[in-house]
Structure 1
Amino acid sequence: MTMVLAVANQKGGVAKTTTVASLGAALAGLGRRVLVVDLDPQGCLTFSLGHNPDRLERSVHDVLVGDIPAKEVLLDTGDGVSLLPATIDLAGAEALLLMRPGREFALKRALAPLLDLFDVVVIDCPPSLGVLTLNGLTAAQQVLVPLQCETLAHRGVGQLLRTVSEVQQITNPDLVLLGALPTLYDARTTHSRDVLADVSDRYAMPVLAPPIPRTVRFAEASASGATVLSGRKNKGADAYRELAQSLSAHWFDGAALVTFESVP
């Protein structure tokens, strides 16, 4: 069975796109067939995987509102994952989708013919709670919430969790909240550790391990059009590889999810 994972947080700057790109590459490194979907009109995922959104003739926008089969829009990347890209045209998709019946199901319908081709589909939701994010959550089986390890970063998480609850009640009753992924983590500070404990207590959701460390390697990788896994050994790549191994074992082998509570 194909696992469809939405990565969502309406707050920008929490390493959502970095997580989608790096986790996708790490899963591909484990031999999984991976598709990543860029649902952000800014096209940051598309750019970070080596494609210029300004030069693409077709994108996920054409799939959602133009009825072009998703398979005809897929692109290859240097990290071994397939990409359903985004362009700025996607900014107009929300208005067009609002006029359509069943608008929340557009992405799920588009991805259905692709599921036999991939083991994992990872969806990069935009930094908002609009129709595109609702499409991502409706198409997914699980949702992962990247969370920057700073106090102000969790403002808005409650609103996202309410949206997830509403999606569970209306369009996707099988959606599972996988948990929060700590990002931009600085193990040297007590503050980062305190934020993780507060998130676990306040929202009663799992906090996945390992935390993703703060490192300049992520910015360098995005600028080069590849993920942090394609460069020389670094702690950011190691963290995403460890996360991919944990999730792959959880999804396909039935292993327990590795969380902060389960780490000795």
Structure 2
Amino acid sequence: MSLPDYPRPPFKPQQQGFPGKTGPMEPTPDHGETTYQGHGLLAGKRALITGGDSGIGAAVAIAFAREGADVAIAYLPDEQADAERIGALIEEAGRKALLAPCDISDPAQAEQLVDRVVKELGGLDVLVNNAAYQRYFESFDEITLEEWKRTFDTNVHAVFNLVRLAVPHLQNGGNVINTASVNSKKPTPNILPYSATKGAVANLTIGLAGLLADKQIRVNAVLPGPIWTPFIPAGMAAEEVESFGSQTPFGRPGQPAELASAYVMLACDGASYTSGALLTVSGGAVTL
């Protein structure tokens, strides 16, 4: 079996405002819609995936459903169309889909989200903290304290808060999977606030793995390299988008579908001794 013949840069110039939509992207990202095949690895589990409407979160939602899990996806209200498309794919897999618009940086909304998921899915087994905020800055002088706080509120504080809210429900084998980034090890200067938050998420993951071991809750993180998602045209400069992924040994960005198996592996019962792991998926790019 050969590697997929996925698109390579240069890509067309394309910019979007945050949070970004799948529809306008050229080429269209692959979330595994026609390719991911499940094997029952998550049968009967109930998962909450933040940012599950597009990009990596959407690919994970599709894979989890095809592996047998009921899936709730949280997303910003502006992303409703993308969320409905993923919800339909979850249901096509024969699983329950719960669509939950939510600003996870708002503690009250986050609490309502977890309560709703537990009530409507009958419990919670896997929390995937995937939603994030990113903005590109030409210079240090452009980074305001407001932007710094906004990035940390979404990417770090909300992650901790959702774990705090989920822990009472993640008993006896439940687990948390955080989306960090290779930027946690090799920061990109022009997205400094984002890079700093991903370093925090990586350290949070390792610390939580130790603190929650006595509750039999596993905590791991996936560290994606350059992945072709709406995050890119919404959070990077035009010239960066055109050449995105060219610096990797594969010479292209990864597709969301290419990360799904990492999340499935970490979520399944076969990974019962895996906790505190930082799993890099970067197309061969080395991070120290």
TM range (shorter): 0.3 to 0.5
Q: TM-score, normalised by structure 2?
A: 0.44
Richer in helix (by share): 1
Q: TM-score, normalised by structure 1?
A: 0.47
